[in-house]
Chain A
Amino acid sequence: MEDEGCDRHPKRSKPTNHCQFPSTSMQESTSTIPILPEELISEILSRLPVKPLLKFRCVSKSWLSLISSTEFVNTHLSLSANKKEYTHHMLILDSNYMLRHCNLRSLFREASIRSIDTDYPTKSNGSDKMWPDFDRIIGSVNGLICLSTENDHLFMWNPSIRKYTKLPDPKPRLRKVYWRQYGFGYDEFHDDYKIVGIFFFDEYGTTNKDEIKIYSLKSDSWRSVDPCPIEDLSIDSGKFVKGKLHWLTKTPGYNFCKGGDIISLDLADEKWGKVEQPCYGEGDIELWAGVLGSDLSVFCECDGIHVDGWVMKEYGVKESWTKIFTVKYPDMAYSDLKYPMFFMSNKGEVVIVFGSTSVIYNLKNGSLRLSKVIDVVGCHEVEIYVESLVCPFSTKGIEDAAKTKGEKAQIKTIE
């Protein structure tokens, strides 16, 4: 990338990267064979989905090293994340506790779509399990998904390349944890993936306040952070926006959120902050947080009939909160999943995912259509992720693997 624009001969390549002696001579009109420099190979390959890239690792050694390089992985991620048609985005959801996924683009285009199996970390391989693990999807960033299982194990997983790592136990201060919740995000400043765990203890009292711990993938360890300034956070997973995790706060006297501030935790400096919410208006409301594109958003359910979608267009500016849609609950969807998440397409459409049923709302003309993932039942968890080659835990895994019984222990490839 250094010598942009100069000395780039179309019929010449860097000799180190390419073999220049093709066995066949198929060129009719040109006498020389166009061989592309690595820079242009990279430009082309970075526009491919993950699966062909894994396949093309075996084209040559230079292709393998290109596709495996951090720079390429990052370029590929940013191109994939910004694909206009969401061709590289996937919707992941559970069906009877099994995680399945489908293409987000299909959801926008078709009324009924099918999902396919994923090789998620706790997928039962038969006899050794009495019941399936109930996995909660904590969040997704850069193509990685963070999962927590019923028996409180945590995993960081890249479904596109089928790699995962099991994370160490957070070991809360007290044994009796009656509720734990997490948030997952990326600390760009330190180039580190982090998980925040909030532990509520059974023996609740002045001396047994909640404990908050943060996990850093780089250090592969948990440590405590300053307690949250507000005690009653919503039970939902933290929402990752602008380098911070966000939680709504519960309204005193209620078990859910009706307003108040949104609490944030900055993953780089670990400082707590507050984000003001808009005025949602009258009526019996219940709120939950979400992410739209890269903006913080809030769903406001009014009187159990319709949902308003609010977006904070300019982060931290209260006046920039905008109500972008009002959608009535679709009949069949209400029982399926109470907490929808939403996402916007480039054509001014918002998809609001209520479990297996999604409502696609056109912002311009207000029209609605439905899309259903037909082979999913009893959906509780839903998340959107972008297909990526990001695998920040690979080297560690390989080192660990050497220590333990000749088999990969920390990181596993599911085949």
Chain B
Amino acid sequence: MASTTETKQKKMLILKSADNDEFEIEESVGVQSETIKNLVEDGFTFVPLPNVYTKALIKIIDYLKKHANKTDSNDEEIKTFDKDFVNTTFDDLFELVSAANYLHISCLMNMLCQTIADRIKDKSPEAVRKIFHINCDYTPEEEAKIRKANAQAFEGQFDESLD
């Protein structure tokens, strides 16, 4: 079921998501992921990805296809694509960053981590807790102490929004 016979030069792979959806992609597109590359080198053409859900996988396949066709002339086009790609909710970005990490796609990892960092930079600690789904485990006294010790970082206004 793996590689089709009529296209000899274009080797194909099947990726299977955690929710059991299958996607056929060209091998040359898939091997931008180190994880997939290693499996392909071991002779696999069917790649189960138990840690990547369909929603994220669809986006990541889009990304891989776009970046596989990188040339000197479509630099701007790819930039626009990347910009759209990261223009989503924090929860989606977290899904994507987990998937990119599992798949070992370093350029995508870097872009996603930088995007998240840039978006939380000016936020308040309270907003960041909500965004990352973290409960504050400091007592009010402990928190006040930390704030005092880092007083310079609390100068100015913070962004309280969650997007």
Residues on A facing B (Cβ under 8 Å): 5, 8-11, 18-24, 26-27, 29-30, 33-36, 39-41, 43-45, 47-49, 51-64, 162, 413, 415
Contacts and interface: CB of A to CB of B under 8 A. Distances in A.
Nearest to A17: B134
B150 A58 contact: yes
Contacts of B109: 43
Contacts, number: 122
Given A5-B35, A10-B99, A60 B152 contact: no
B150 A27 contact: no
Contacts of A62: 137
A57 B121 contact: no
A8 B146 contact: no
B19 to A, nearest CB: 11
Nearest to B150: A54
A60 B91 contact: no
A5 B102 contact: yes
Interface of B: 35, 51-53, 55-56, 91, 94-95, 97-99, 101-102, 104, 109, 113-114, 116-117, 120-122, 125, 128-130, 132-138, 143, 146-147, 149-154, 158, 162
B129 A51 contact: no
B136 A59 contact: yes
B49 to A, nearest CB: 11
Contact of A47 (B35, B56, B114, B134): B114
A57 to B, nearest CB: 6
Contacts of B104: 5
A198 to B, nearest CB: 36
A29 B152 contact: no
Contact of B137 (A33, A53, A60): A60
Contact of A413 (B117, B132, B149): B149
Given A5-B102, A33-B91, A34-B94, A19 B53 contact: no
Given A55-B150, A59-B125, A24 B130 contact: yes
A353 B130 CA distance: 44
Classify the secondary structure of A's interface with B. loop
Closest 7 CB pairs of A and B: A10-B98, A54-B153, A19-B135, A34-B94, A47-B117, A55-B153, A22-B133
A40 B97 contact: yes
Residues of B contacting A: mostly:
helix
Contact of B101 (A18, A30, A40): A40
A60 to B, nearest CB: 5
B143 A58 contact: yes
A45 B116 CA distance: 9
Pick the most buried of B104, B116, B122, B147: most chain A CB atoms within 10 A of its CB.
B116
Most buried by A among B56, B117, B152: B152
B128 A8 contact: no
A40 B137 contact: no
A47 B113 CA distance: 7
Given A33-B91, A162-B152, A19 B101 contact: no
Given A36-B94, A58-B147, A29 B55 contact: yes
19 contacts: A5-B102, A10-B52, A10-B53, A10-B94, A10-B99, A22-B133, A24-B130, A34-B98, A36-B97, A43-B109, A44-B97, A44-B120, A47-B113, A47-B114, A47-B117, A49-B121, A58-B143, A59-B132, A162-B152
Contacts of A61: 137-138
Contacts of B113: 40, 43-44, 47
Given A10-B52, A19-B133, A34-B133, 16 more contacts: A8-B102, A10-B102, A19-B135, A20-B133, A22-B135, A30-B95, A43-B97, A44-B117, A48-B117, A48-B120, A49-B121, A51-B153, A55-B158, A57-B153, A58-B147, A415-B151
Contacts of A11: 98
Contacts of A60: 129, 134-138
A24 B138 CA distance: 19
Contact of A19 (B55, B122, B137): B137
Contacts of B51: 8-10
A338 B156 CA distance: 38
B150 A57 contact: yes
